[in-house]
Amino acid sequence: MKRTHLWWALAALVVGLAVTAGGPLRAAGEHINYADLNKIKAEGLQRSQVMELCSWLSDVYAPRLTGSPTAQRAADWAVRKMTDWGLVNVKIEPWVNKNGFERGWTNDKFYMAVTAPERFPIPGTPTAWTPGTTGPIAGEVVLMAATTVDDLAPFKGKLKAKWVMLQAVPDVPAYWDPQAKRYTPEQLASLELNPPPPVLEFGVTPPGAGRGGPTPAAPAAPQAFGGGLAAAFNAARHEFLRAEGALGTIATVPRGHGLYTISGNRAADPATTLPAISIAAEHYGRIGRMLAKNVPVTIEADIKSTFYPNPAVFNVVGEIPGTDKADEIVMLGAHIDTWHSATGAADDGVGVAAMMEAMRILKASGVKLRRTVRVGLWEGEEQGLIGSREYVAAHFASRQALPAAPGAAAGAAPAGGGRGGFGGPQGPLEMKPDYDKLSVYFNIDNGTGALRGIYLQGNDAAGPIFREWMEPFRSLGMTTITVRNTGGTDHQSFDGVGLPGFQFIQDEVEYNSITHHTNMDTFERLQPNDVTKMATIAAGFAYLAANRDEKIPRKPLPVPGQGGVGRGGQ
């Protein structure tokens, strides 16, 4: 090697070392106290209580439909637990507005069986807020696959004292692919490096622009009640069925494998609503195929459901006070309410358990927190992120929705049980004094899958900060930052008023395929290693946010008159 070459090689090495030491990983200059993070990791990974919290939530205090007595008991339990751990200001905080929750509801008994031509039981679940039966009632089954008002006419005079199946027998695909998946390094890189597809118009995001990654589209939920045109047809169909004297309705989804999804409309008046049942495609199909052979089928059902007038609707909060920046707030959150056909273990008992456990880890590890760390457990998420929106409106800021477009169904839950909530035009922000006190909100609500990174919700300035915060958790699988939005859960309530609200990237472990809103969302579907790491990382991020010199930077404020900022594509 010639001497000049050696010199250049040395120079390149020096420059290379400088880049490595002071380059990308230190770009935000975060001060990271590894001694404290090690205490957090030791508490979270070696002395975890998170699966026990999951079990209390999903085995004892479940399901937790908003406004139901079990949701209240779960909230009371969470308050006791967090008080025992030494958190302060632990309380149930009622919503300012009741948001149409005029009655709580529980299903206390469900029996359904085919009694002719053969006898066999049918597992199922009544749609929320629908009435039961007056004891066992039997009737023949009619399949009425109507999709328009015109389709109803041929059934006039044929539905009296009949159980009515509301759709054609669906084809059920096999499980050609594994239902639980880990993101591959290639998929994570794609999530990080490929920008989301361009937005074509204000408020209109192209299909697939939301989460990216290998998420299969969820099959459509039974459309007992929906938004817009679907809601209008469903209402007309329901009126027709009532006028004809039908006993009740039966619906399914094309998943098969014993699965069905559930939803409900809190505005349904029990005095004028028919019993509505969700069952698995296998049972639905067997009955439908017999009817197609002109074999009459008789169903007997005995359903008892209870209504509870004027229920409490609320969020649960608790804090660990900060020190020199105690008036500033870092928040962790998840939704405590569930649907009711299983125990809501993955949606979102696991998120609640992980965020409660994160608070326990912070308290038990004894690390110092400069800002106050607060946990929020929201009710009403499943009906449109209501609890978190109520909380944000009461404490931080609200945006009045501008008048909805003509034809929008007033008071009806959105299709699929209430997602989004920021689709319409939004008015100007009304800020509360604490608007400037919140640093950041972190949310968990995508099932049991391990945390693999974080969605930036378009907040580029937060990227270099989170990049450095992830480094101590790299060995737990936290590696990826994507500027993309993700939607459909409570971080949107913060993001929608311009506050930094984030949701983590999670492995797709049976969430969209098996657990989300189904009768199989149970403790057995939780993965202890993933959940333990989840709580530890949430504690670490809360710790780092609480002790950072500055608050997390914010995006520009939303513009009045347009759709809410950060609306995801999910």
Min separation Cβ 382 and Zn ion, Å? 7
43, 348, 379, 495: residue in contact with Zn ion (rule CB under 5 A): 348
Helices (H), 144-280: 149-152, 185-193, 228-244
Shortest spacing between CB 47 and Zn ion, in angstroms: 28
Cβ 398 to Zn ion, closest distance in Å? 22
Quick check: helix, strand or coil at residue 63? Answer: coil
For Zn ion, which stretch binds (CB under 5 A), given 106-114, 155-163, 297-305, 345-353?
345-353
Of 144-152, 301-309, 340-348, 533-541, which segment contacts Zn ion by CB under 5 A? 340-348
Residues 427-456 that bind Zn ion (CB under 5 A): 445
* Minimum gap (Å) between residue 347 Cβ and Zn ion: 4
Task: Answer whether the bond into residue 414 is a cis peptide, omega within 30°.
Answer: no
**Minimum CB–partner distance for residue 284 and Zn ion (Å):** 26
What is the closest distance, in whole angstroms, from the C-beta atom of residue 517 to Zn ion in the complex? Answer: 8
Size of the site for Zn ion (CB under 5 A): 3
Find all residues with CB under 8 Å of 82, minimum gap 6, and list them: 90, 318, 356, 359, 375
Residue 40, phi then psi, degrees to nearest 5: -65, -45
Which of residues 379 and 445 has its CB atom nearest to Zn ion in the complex? 445
> Can you give the length of the chain in residues?
570
Q: Distance (Å, rounded) from C-alpha 569 to C-alpha 211?
A: 7
Please say which residue, 445 or 507, places its beta carbon nearer to Zn ion.
445
Nearer to Zn ion (CB atom), residue 357 or residue 445: 445
Contacts 24+ apart (CB under 8 A), 84-90: 85/359, 85/360, 85/363, 85/364, 86/363, 87/318, 87/319, 87/320, 87/359, 87/363, 87/375, 88/318, 88/319, 88/320, 88/321, 89/317, 89/318, 89/319, 89/374, 90/316, 90/317, 90/318, 90/319
Closest alpha carbon to 542 in 391, 352, 370, 422: 370
Least Å distance, CB 477 to Zn ion, is: 21
Nearest-angstrom CA–CA distance, 300 and 59: 29
* CB nearer to Zn ion: pick between 328 and 382: 382
Tell me how far apart the terminal alpha carbons of the chain are, to the nearest angstrom: 59
- The residue (of 234 and 457) whose beta carbon lies closer to Zn ion is 457
Selected from 30, 244, 300, 347, the binder of Zn ion by CB under 5 A is 347
Residues from 106 through 135 that contact Zn ion (CB under 5 A)? none
Task: Find the shortest distance in angstroms from Cβ 334 to Zn ion.
Answer: 8
CA proximity to 140, closest of 165, 169, 172: 165
* Residue whose CB is less far from Zn ion, 252 or 489: 489
Q: What are phi and psi of 140, to 5 degrees?
A: -70, 160
SS3 state at 518: strand
Contact string 237-276 vs Zn ion (x = CB under 5 A): ----------------------------------------
Which of these segments, 231-239, 269-277, 347-355, 520-528, binds Zn ion (CB under 5 A)? 347-355
Rounded to a whole number of angstroms, the minimum distance from the CB of residue 249 to Zn ion is: 26
Q: Which is nearer to Zn ion, 36 or 379 (CB)?
A: 379
CA distance 570 to 487: 5
508 is a contact residue toward Zn ion (CB under 5 A): no
- Rounded CA-CA distance 528/434 in Å is 37
Smallest gap from Cβ 348 to Zn ion, in A, equals: 4
Query: Which of 348/508 has CB closer to Zn ion?
Result: 348
| CA–CA gap between residue 25 and residue 5 (Å, rounded) | 30
Q: What are phi and psi of 285, to 5 degrees?
A: -65, -40
CB of 231 to Zn ion, least distance (A): 22
Q: Which is nearer to Zn ion, 319 or 445 (CB)?
A: 445
| Closest separation in Å from C-beta 360 to Zn ion | 22
Judged by beta carbon, residue 87 or residue 450, the one nearer Zn ion is: 450
Choice between 288 and 569, CB closer to Zn ion: 569
**Which stretch of DSSP H or E encloses residue 82?**
helix 69-84
Give CA–CA dist 485/495, Å, rounded.
Answer: 10
Query: Residue 309 CA to chain centroid, in angstroms?
Result: 26
Q: Which of residues 2-21 bind Zn ion (CB under 5 A)?
A: none
d(CA 57, CA 65): 13
What count of other Cβ atoms lies within 10 Å of the Cβ of residue 555? 18
Tokens of 456: 């930036």
Identity of the residue, 348 or 357, whose beta carbon is nearer to Zn ion in the bound complex: 348
Structure tokens at 446: 């995508």
**β-bridge pairing 163-165 and 248-251:** parallel
d(CA 82, CA 361): 11
Write down the number of H helices and E strands in the chain: 13, 18
CB–CB of 353/50 below 8 Å? yes
Nearer to Zn ion, 457 or 489 (CB): 489
Q: How far from 456 is each of 215, 261, 296, 352, 504, CA to CA, in Å?
A: 18, 30, 56, 22, 9
Nearer to Zn ion, 237 or 335 (CB): 335
CB of 335 to Zn ion, least distance (A): 5
CB of 446 to Zn ion, least distance (A): 8
Between residue 148 and residue 167, which ones bind Zn ion under the rule CB under 5 A?
none
Q: How far is the CB of 200 from Zn ion (least distance, A)?
A: 28
Range in contact with Zn ion (rule: CB under 5 A) among 182-190, 324-332, 348-356, 434-442: 348-356
Query: What Rg, from alpha-carbon coordinates, does the chain have?
Result: 26
CB burial of residue 413 (10 Å; 0-12, 13-18, 19+): buried
Stretch near Zn ion under the rule CB under 5 A, chosen from 341-349, 504-512, 520-528, 552-560: 341-349
Nearer to Zn ion, 344 or 566 (CB): 344
Residues forming the site for Zn ion (CB under 5 A):
347-348, 445
